[in-house]
Structure 1
Amino acid sequence: MFGNWLKTSILMAGIIALFGVVGGLIGGQQGMLLALVFGGAMNVFSYWFSDKMVLRMYNAQEVDEASSPYLYNMVRELAGRASLPMPRVYIIHEDQPNAFATGRNPDNAAVAATTGILQMLSARELRGVMAHELAHVQHRDILISTISATLAGAISALANFAMFFGGRDEEGRPANPIASIAVALLAPLAASLIQMAISRAREFEADRGGAQISGDPNALADALLKIDAFARGIPMPTAEAHPETGQMMIMNPLSGRGLAGLFSTHPATEERVARLRSLATR
């Protein structure tokens, strides 16, 4: 838990420093001050509202026992097994099978599943997936995961900030070469920040924790194989438009084309399945 708090603090401090440096290069002292204010405001916003922002981005609809008893009761049973507070439960109307968890802490957590995953998986397999997401809540991965996604998106806003202060010449080209360089580098930099903040080991740990919560490692292994087989052929437009959120999903939702491939933070499915199978034999 302390490690995730440390990573989060370093990431937020790094964002403020980055904004200040780029703002100073482009707009001098005034630009630096404006960028620092913006960076600080983004940090505050990200801590308190990043989960709501991501859920709204995916048009997630909150459900309860009356509107979705199948999913809601499953999450409630698993949360009880994990000794966790009952999280909010959401459904995302996307064909791609996927799921994620978000929130500041276990008391303010939410889990979301796509309609695709609800239709594709058996009850046993879906139970394994939701146990995996609750393991992320239990391990307190959700804060750094959600904040890093929001702040990576803020770096794109910094690129627009650079273009605004850089101005354009009579032919519409960027007049400030520093602004041009910033725009070219900021997207890969956002991806690098995600890679540094989000360890692939966390997925292995969530798989292991999910297997313990559900008591059925093979259920999650079977689910991962099925999701991997179908997710690649079913696009998720929101994830493609906001690739920084892809690391939140149980399976990489991105096609891998262009810059989206830089945001891949998931280990190979085959290795995840092999580890789960080995847990089942112990």
Structure 2
Amino acid sequence: MFNLMKTAILMAAITALFMAIGSLLGGRQGMMLALIVALGMNFFSYWFSDKLVLRMYNAQEVDEASAPQFYGMVRELAQRAGLPMPRVYLIDEAAPNAFATGRNPQNAAVAATTGILRVLSERELRGVMAHELAHVKHRDILISTISATMAGAISMLANFAMLFGGRDQEGRPANPVVGLLVMLLAPLAASLIQMAISRAREFEADRGGAEISGDPQALAGALQKIHRYAHGQVPMEAAERHPETAQMMIMNPLSGGGLRGLFSTHPSTEERVERLLAMAAGR
């Protein structure tokens, strides 16, 4: 219920941002048009955003015949977690990473890069996939997928506002400085919304994943390995093209610093590892 409330708040906040940008573009008419667009985007995001994200990463669905070991691992972990079997996808990327998506546990999917299968041991990979299934169990996946889709839409709308200008409430051309501010601040506001919902849930998914796999140390080791690759400049090209989806990953895949680092959607790897090792010591 709490995550459903957070999803409703997120959708309301995104709708308000759409209306503000629409007002800049076309006054009251623009604001009403933006409201209609936002409602349409909310509907689309709820039902289809998981498919859109998987398509962004060119994820290929696998089964027991095409990826027997990996598929069997996910099935075993899903059974341990008391979850329906999710759809399983592989992404042809050298950078090690993984994410979960879908609107509920009955319509969930988990995806992993081919790089993570090469880099991690079987024990560590179990920890990562258990983490993703914990997101499914906690019903994090809807809000993360919707926020990724809507953040991208806000960025595009803000760029449109900058390129084509806008009108104030009286129909006069809007101040170009205001247009520039919208272009800069609207994506930033979307990132702040994503950040607010992402950091706490990663700690919870680490804890839940460790409980599902029964091996907190394996997940800690996996996070340390993925961190080294992410900071060793092994780029995840699809994430660089769609940075709004970075908050869905088990580890932030984006290269570079600046605002991307300042407004990171993930807690520090060191703190995550420290909590997992403390959990292991207390078992």
TM-score (norm 1): 0.92
* Aligned mates of 1:248, 1:112 — CA distance in 2: 11
* Aligned mates of 2:262, 2:111 — CA distance in 1: 24
Q: Which residue number corresponds to residue 9 of structure 2?
A: 10
The 8 Å contact of residues 57 and 238 in structure 2, kept in 1 or not, is answered as yes
Q: Which residue number corresponds to residue 140 of structure 1?
A: 139
Determine if the alignment matches structure 1 residue 120 to structure 2 residue 119.
yes
* Aligned mates of 1:111, 1:122 — CA distance in 2: 18
Determine if the alignment matches structure 1 residue 197 to structure 2 residue 194.
no
Instruction: Kindly state the Cα deviation for residue 196 of structure 1 after the two structures are TM-superposed.
Output: 2.4
* Aligned mates of 1:127, 1:207 — CA distance in 2: 12
Determine if the alignment matches structure 1 residue 270 to structure 2 residue 270.
yes
* Aligned mates of 2:263, 2:88 — CA distance in 1: 26
The 8 Å contact of residues 24 and 161 in structure 2, kept in 1 or not, is answered as no
Q: Which residue number corresponds to residue 96 of structure 2?
A: 97
Q: Which residue number corresponds to residue 73 of structure 1?
A: 72
Q: Which residue number corresponds to residue 224 of structure 2?
A: 225
How many aligned residue pairs are there? 274
Instruction: Kindly state the Cα deviation for residue 145 of structure 1 after the two structures are TM-superposed.
Output: 0.7
| Structure 1: unaligned runs, 5 residues or longer | 168-173
* Aligned mates of 1:269, 1:260 — CA distance in 2: 16
Letter of the 2:195 counterpart: Q
For residues 90-130 of structure 1, give each alpha carbon's deviation from its aligned partner in whole angstroms, at most 9, with x where no partner exists.
Answer: 00011001001011000000000000000011111101110
The 8 Å contact of residues 230 and 255 in structure 2, kept in 1 or not, is answered as no
Instruction: Kindly state the Cα deviation for residue 178 of structure 1 after the two structures are TM-superposed.
Output: 2.7
SS at match of 1:95: coil
Within 5 Å, which residues of 2 pair with 1:1-80?
Answer: 2-80=1-79
Q: Which residue number corresponds to residue 87 of structure 1?
A: 86
* Aligned mates of 1:44, 1:60 — CA distance in 2: 23
Q: Which residue number corresponds to residue 170 of structure 1?
A: none
* Aligned mates of 2:263, 2:44 — CA distance in 1: 22
Within 5 Å, which residues of 2 pair with 1:153-232?
Answer: 153-163=152-162, 165-166=164-165, 176-198=176-198, 200-232=199-231
The 8 Å contact of residues 195 and 266 in structure 2, kept in 1 or not, is answered as no
Letter of the 1:178 counterpart: V
Q: Which moved more, 1:258-267 or 1:245-254?
A: 258-267
SS at match of 2:110: strand
Instruction: Kindly state the Cα deviation for residue 204 of structure 1 after the two structures are TM-superposed.
Output: 1.2
The 8 Å contact of residues 128 and 217 in structure 1, kept in 2 or not, is answered as yes
For residues 170-222 of structure 1, give each alpha carbon's deviation from its aligned partner in whole angstroms, at most 9, with x where no partner exists.
Answer: xxxx9744322211222212211212232x12111111111111111111111
Letter of the 2:87 counterpart: R
Instruction: Kindly state the Cα deviation for residue 164 of structure 1 after the two structures are TM-superposed.
Output: 5.4
SS at match of 1:192: helix
How many percent of aligned residue pairs carry the same amino acid? 70
The 8 Å contact of residues 148 and 194 in structure 1, kept in 2 or not, is answered as yes
SS at match of 1:90: strand
* Aligned mates of 1:112, 1:158 — CA distance in 2: 29
Q: Which residue number corresponds to residue 170 of structure 2?
A: none
Q: Which residue number corresponds to residue 171 of structure 1?
A: none
SS at match of 1:19: helix
Letter of the 2:65 counterpart: A
Instruction: Kindly state the Cα deviation for residue 21 of structure 1 after the two structures are TM-superposed.
Output: 2.3
Instruction: Kindly state the Cα deviation for residue 262 of structure 1 after the two structures are TM-superposed.
Output: 4.6
Instruction: Kindly state the Cα deviation for residue 263 of structure 1 after the two structures are TM-superposed.
Output: 4.5
SS at match of 1:67: coil
SS at match of 2:111: strand
Instruction: Kindly state the Cα deviation for residue 138 of structure 1 after the two structures are TM-superposed.
Output: 0.5
SS at match of 1:274: helix
* Aligned mates of 2:17, 2:275 — CA distance in 1: 39
The 8 Å contact of residues 96 and 231 in structure 1, kept in 2 or not, is answered as yes
* Aligned mates of 2:238, 2:202 — CA distance in 1: 22
Q: Which residue number corresponds to residue 241 of structure 1?
A: 241
TM-score (norm 2): 0.92
